Amino acid sequence: MDKRSEARIQHNVRFFVHVHDCDEDPDLIGVSIACEAVDFSPHGLQFRSDQSLPPGTLVNITIGIGDPFAMYLLRGEVRWSRSLDEDDIAIGILLHDAEGTDLEKWQSTFDDIFG
């Protein structure tokens, strides 16, 4: 059963997530992980990676996207993670409002970026 309250926009973008906090595996803090976006919404995103992140992990996400091109710094929490195959893992992120991030800008320009 799909629990999403918003439609997701499929869009392939490569970016990095930077582990901000991880209670389950503190050794991950500060690690940067290459990712490829699967889809976006104003309040979340799903991406593929070759590294798993446990639920509850907080990540900083830097995405450059749009026309005109703009950079967004977002903070999110890993809500789920599942294997797609032996090389790829899908990870779902719920975005959080945090000081110094661009969540408000992301949400206000979302339709312009993906519309």
Domain harbouring 105, CATH code? 2.40.10.220
Angle subtended at Cα 101 by Cα 95 and Cα 102, rounded to the nearest 5 degrees: 80
Instruction: Answer whether residue 91 shows pLDDT above 90.
Output: yes
Average pLDDT, the chain: 89
* pLDDT for the residue 13: 78
- The beta strand positions in the chain, using DSSP E, are 9-10, 14-21, 32-41, 44-49, 58-65, 70-83, 89-96
13-17, 29-33, 42-46, 94-98: range with lowest mean pLDDT = 13-17
Residue 45 lies in a domain: yes
Q: Count the domains in the chain.
A: 1
Single-letter amino acid code for the residue at 109? T
Segment 48-60 shows an average pLDDT of 95
What is the DSSP secondary structure assignment for residue 51, as one 8-state letter?
Answer: S
* Percent of the chain whose pLDDT exceeds 90: 68
pLDDT of residue 9: 54
Predicted local distance difference test score (pLDDT) of residue 65: 86
pLDDT at 11: 57
Nearest partner of 89 among 57, 64, 54, 40, judged by Cα: 54
The verdict on residue 46 lying in a domain is yes
pLDDT band per the 50, 70, 90 thresholds, residue 1: very low
Q: pLDDT above 70 covers what percent of the chain?
A: 90
* Residue 7 predicted with pLDDT over 70: no
Specify if 4 maps to a domain. Answer: no
Query: Residue 37 sits in which domain range?
Result: 9-114
* Residue 57 scores a pLDDT above 60: yes
Strand 32-41 relative to strand 14-21, pairing: antiparallel
